[in-house]
Chains A and B, each alone.
Chain A
């Protein structure tokens, strides 16, 4: 039983209909080219009028990737419109720019120039309104708050959009009143909980934790242990997922903590023992074991022949499993001898 788009009839296109369609498209293309010519010539003439402003809007609606026209639009605002406006009007215009680009973003979530324009609007907002003669930054705060909201909606739609994560960091860093690192940690917990196969979320978590450790809000030792527990859940649930392995490696760092190192080596060893398993999982387990055992060797037990032997054995198995990287494993073996 075939189902075509919920069983709705698709109209067959006759040659006449196709020709008509082509005609309509051609007229659209002509319209676009004429509009482009108009806008670019005005730009050359340094036309900062409202008419020019309207035209850039039309053009950008059709093609939001036309960055020259975004530049021109900003220049119109700076040279033509802002000098004639009160701070409140400027704020309204910029809020409007933000709304307009939000709509554009929904259709084009990865166009750099739209994000760029938003940054410019946020950074060039007036400081008002004035309260008792002092700029209160309320307009800016409101715009930045909304911005965070937009960034979060983008991440709800696609939690792995690294542009959105990057943007989120930018917004958090530039808000007049900063959000707490603790709340950011909670945000990464939610995102990781919803889908832990997410490099960006783990990465954000690592940056946030560093901030919390340095400021003393979290005890680095306890926190690290908590993180090992969290990531081990990910490793065991899906050992093929690389983002968890990379986070684990970051947690180990340079391996100063002997107890942690030994505990994690044991954990990974048990995971490796759990049969049957995929090649990917075996690679990651063995690779990590070699890396961590070497850290143990270097930092805590420099003379240990057992450790060295274990590494050599693992490297041989790795070479068999992953012949493409044979030379690398040979190199690592050689390093062990030094």
Chain B
């Protein structure tokens, strides 16, 4: 194997994989390495036996994780995600999915119900004029005010008088004072339309998100979001890797990187063209020769400490609508017996199939024993997305933490698990038995600001944003930024390239039929 590459990418998380695919398609020679025997890194989709192994490794790495219960039979028919998320129907991520052709490798369906936990019961969240019209829970006046707010949020609010001076006030406050919404309605909008993580999140970024999600609804159906089959993000990351491989990218899974060093050009074994001088040499476990590259892109977790401070880090934000980045996420994956479909309320709207992917939002302070500051999301997944065999389901519970917590994920999340199980029991009058559960803490590696003396050609990828609705869009934006940095870093040296040469496009036009295979998008 030729061991000279333009780019080596370490880690097959979602952001890294998008970057690798884009660089591969742009014509660069890419090697992509991951110490895990699976794709997806910290966002991987795992079968239940893989999950158990992952738990053991996580413990060995001194992370907080606990696991209860026996792995059920048919462990391979489950696809659990370590970082569950949904895909906005309009946004940079879905655009990348389509433009890259990776959408053809996967299957997607609409997210089902979004409900909020309020006063001990699950309530619907009105997302459109018709939801408001039909709601039995709001007074006439409340309906008028909510509709007015939705029209405001869907329009050009940037210079509006309502927003003037209020951009940084908490959204809950803004809704209550300016739009005169009741507390319950304000909560529903803040946490289940704007998907704020924390109680004091500010108005302007949340409004941007709300507008984006209102516009996204209707593109594929009434929900603003899609969910991926087979566990979502990990599966999609694998799709991007496949796209990279099709264009010649080389994949090395299950091998650790044992050393990374800068290259002294005078020490090279074989003389190479001056314009293609490698900058880094990467030692891979069990490989006789080092791999050379001119540009090294790595997930921050896989970069050795001494290089982290020297790397150029891309700030991960859609700055206009980003939520404050959490310090860590407390997570729980629970496998349960019985269907996890939330029944549609009232007369069904047509013959649409009920989706078993739904989202329950617990606002801060809604659950006794729960958090007073963080909003907790519970996502369900089941046979509808091929994530579990028939008759079983997966519950994902996620709590963003804005500081280090003295409590373990288990202590933080148990009250929510108990509440959800009894809610399902109430909704469906069946016993919901818990088969097994895993609690873990996901620390997000903090981004160090890029200093001016960062090493040329060394780019670090920040951790995948854990925000349920925004994470994938941020991944796409960061991936594009890294792509551009890498491309300009690599092209800048090639003096023989014409001045009039085009900038690399993030995704070149797809040929009409790129390969013979690939599934159709299933709805």
Cβ-based interface call for B215 (8 A): no
**Cα distance A51–B38 in the bound complex, in angstroms:** 66
Cross-chain contact A7 with B143 (CB below 8 angstroms) = no
Cross-chain contact B141 with A9 (CB below 8 angstroms) = no
Cβ-based interface call for B505 (8 A): yes
Cross-chain contact B99 with A7 (CB below 8 angstroms) = yes
Give which listed residue, B101, B133, B505, contacts A234 with CB less than 8 A.
B133
Cross-chain contact A237 with B144 (CB below 8 angstroms) = yes
Binds A, one of B115-123, B426-434, B506-514: B506-514
**Cα distance A190–B132 in the bound complex, in angstroms:** 15
Cβ-based interface call for B140 (8 A): yes
**Cα distance A233–B133 in the bound complex, in angstroms:** 6
Interface centre among A193, A236, A238, A239 (most CB of B within 10 A): A236
A-B contact count (CB 8 A): 66
- Chain A residues lying within 8 Å of B130, measured Cβ to Cβ, are 193-196
Cross-chain contact B141 with A236 (CB below 8 angstroms) = yes
Within 8 A of B (CB), among A187-243: 189-190, 193-196, 232-234, 236-239
**Cα distance A235–B12 in the bound complex, in angstroms:** 53
- Chain A residues lying within 8 Å of B515, measured Cβ to Cβ, are none
Give which listed residue, B101, B349, B510, contacts A194 with CB less than 8 A.
B349
Give which listed residue, A4, A196, A239, A270, contacts B141 with CB less than 8 A.
A270
Give which listed residue, B98, B99, B133, B505, contacts A193 with CB less than 8 A.
B133
- Chain B residues lying within 8 Å of A17, measured Cβ to Cβ, are none
Whole-angstrom distance from the CB of A47 to the nearest CB of chain B? 46
Give which listed residue, B101, B133, B145, contacts A196 with CB less than 8 A.
B133
Whole-angstrom distance from the CB of B475 to the nearest CB of chain A? 16
In the complex with contacts A9-B512, A193-B133, A234-B133, A3-B350 CB distance below 8 A? no
Whole-angstrom distance from the CB of A187 to the nearest CB of chain B? 11
Cross-chain contact B347 with A190 (CB below 8 angstroms) = yes
- Chain B residues lying within 8 Å of A3, measured Cβ to Cβ, are 95, 98-99
- Chain A residues lying within 8 Å of B347, measured Cβ to Cβ, are 189-190, 193
In the complex with contacts A8-B510, A194-B349, A271-B144, A238-B129 CB distance below 8 A? yes
Interface centre among B132, B507, B509 (most CB of A within 10 A): B509
Whole-angstrom distance from the CB of B295 to the nearest CB of chain A? 22
Cβ-based interface call for B147 (8 A): yes
- Chain A residues lying within 8 Å of B390, measured Cβ to Cβ, are none
**Cα distance A9–B514 in the bound complex, in angstroms:** 11
Whole-angstrom distance from the CB of A152 to the nearest CB of chain B? 10
- Chain A residues lying within 8 Å of B95, measured Cβ to Cβ, are 1, 3
- Chain B residues lying within 8 Å of A9, measured Cβ to Cβ, are 509-512
Cβ-based interface call for A334 (8 A): no
Cβ-based interface call for A310 (8 A): no
Cross-chain contact B98 with A233 (CB below 8 angstroms) = no
Cβ-based interface call for A54 (8 A): no
Cross-chain contact A237 with B505 (CB below 8 angstroms) = no
Q: Bits for A146-162, please: 1 = Cβ < 8 Å to B, else 0.
A: 00000000001000000
**Cα distance A1–B132 in the bound complex, in angstroms:** 36
- Chain A residues lying within 8 Å of B141, measured Cβ to Cβ, are 236, 270, 274
Within 8 A of A (CB), among B94-149: 95, 98-99, 101, 129-130, 132-134, 140-141, 143-145, 147
- What residue of chain A has the Cβ atom nearest to residue B92's Cβ? A1
Give which listed residue, A1, A6, A233, contacts B505 with CB less than 8 A.
A1
**Cα distance A156–B352 in the bound complex, in angstroms:** 12
Within 8 A of A (CB), among B348-402: 349-350
- What residue of chain B has the Cβ atom nearest to residue A235's Cβ? B140
- Chain A residues lying within 8 Å of B145, measured Cβ to Cβ, are 274
Cross-chain contact B511 with A236 (CB below 8 angstroms) = no
- Chain B residues lying within 8 Å of A239, measured Cβ to Cβ, are 144
- What residue of chain A has the Cβ atom nearest to residue B346's Cβ? A193
Cross-chain contact B511 with A233 (CB below 8 angstroms) = no
- Chain B residues lying within 8 Å of A237, measured Cβ to Cβ, are 129, 132-133, 143-144, 147
- Chain A residues lying within 8 Å of B133, measured Cβ to Cβ, are 193, 196, 233-234, 237-238
Whole-angstrom distance from the CB of B55 to the nearest CB of chain A? 40
Within 8 A of A (CB), among B499-523: 505-507, 509-512
- What residue of chain B has the Cβ atom nearest to residue A281's Cβ? B144
**Cα distance A236–B509 in the bound complex, in angstroms:** 48
**Cα distance A195–B510 in the bound complex, in angstroms:** 38
Whole-angstrom distance from the CB of A255 to the nearest CB of chain B? 22
Give which listed residue, B134, B506, B509, contacts A4 with CB less than 8 A.
B509
In the complex with contacts A233-B133, A233-B140, A238-B147 CB distance below 8 A? yes
Interface residues on A, range: 20 to 34
Whole-angstrom distance from the CB of B68 to the nearest CB of chain A? 44
- Chain B residues lying within 8 Å of A270, measured Cβ to Cβ, are 141
Whole-angstrom distance from the CB of B235 to the nearest CB of chain A? 21
Whole-angstrom distance from the CB of B320 to the nearest CB of chain A? 17
- Chain A residues lying within 8 Å of B99, measured Cβ to Cβ, are 1, 3, 6-7
- Chain B residues lying within 8 Å of A4, measured Cβ to Cβ, are 509
Cross-chain contact A274 with B144 (CB below 8 angstroms) = yes
Give which listed residue, A7, A232, A238, contacts B140 with CB less than 8 A.
A232
Cross-chain contact B506 with A1 (CB below 8 angstroms) = yes
**Cα distance A274–B145 in the bound complex, in angstroms:** 9
Cross-chain contact B144 with A236 (CB below 8 angstroms) = yes
Whole-angstrom distance from the CB of A182 to the nearest CB of chain B? 14
**Cα distance A189–B348 in the bound complex, in angstroms:** 12
Whole-angstrom distance from the CB of B26 to the nearest CB of chain A? 14
- What residue of chain B has the Cβ atom nearest to residue A230's Cβ? B133
- Chain A residues lying within 8 Å of B101, measured Cβ to Cβ, are 7
- Chain A residues lying within 8 Å of B509, measured Cβ to Cβ, are 4, 7-9
Whole-angstrom distance from the CB of A153 to the nearest CB of chain B? 11
**Cα distance A104–B510 in the bound complex, in angstroms:** 34
**Cα distance A193–B344 in the bound complex, in angstroms:** 15
Interface centre among B144, B147, B512 (most CB of A within 10 A): B144
Give which listed residue, B143, B350, B506, contacts A233 with CB less than 8 A.
B143
- What residue of chain A has the Cβ atom nearest to residue B147's Cβ? A237
**Cα distance A7–B511 in the bound complex, in angstroms:** 8
- Chain A residues lying within 8 Å of B144, measured Cβ to Cβ, are 236-237, 239, 271, 274
- Chain B residues lying within 8 Å of A195, measured Cβ to Cβ, are 130
- What residue of chain B has the Cβ atom nearest to residue A197's Cβ? B129
Within 8 A of B (CB), among A257-295: 267, 270-271, 274
Q: Which residues of chain B have a CB within 8 Å of any CB of chain A?
A: 95, 98-99, 101, 129-130, 132-134, 140-141, 143-145, 147, 347, 349-350, 505-507, 509-512
Closest 4 CB pairs of A and B: A236-B140, A236-B144, A7-B99, A237-B133
Given contacts A237-B144, A239-B144, 17 further A-B contacts (CB under 8 A): A1-B507, A3-B95, A6-B99, A6-B510, A7-B510, A8-B512, A9-B509, A189-B347, A190-B349, A196-B133, A233-B133, A233-B140, A236-B141, A236-B143, A238-B129, A271-B140, A271-B144
Task: Give me 29 A-to-B residue pairs in the complex whose CB atoms sit less than 8 angstroms apart, sorted by A's number.
Answer: A1-B95, A1-B506, A1-B507, A3-B95, A3-B98, A4-B509, A7-B98, A7-B509, A7-B510, A9-B511, A9-B512, A189-B347, A190-B347, A193-B133, A193-B347, A193-B349, A194-B130, A194-B349, A232-B140, A233-B140, A234-B133, A236-B144, A237-B144, A238-B129, A238-B133, A238-B147, A267-B140, A271-B140, A274-B145
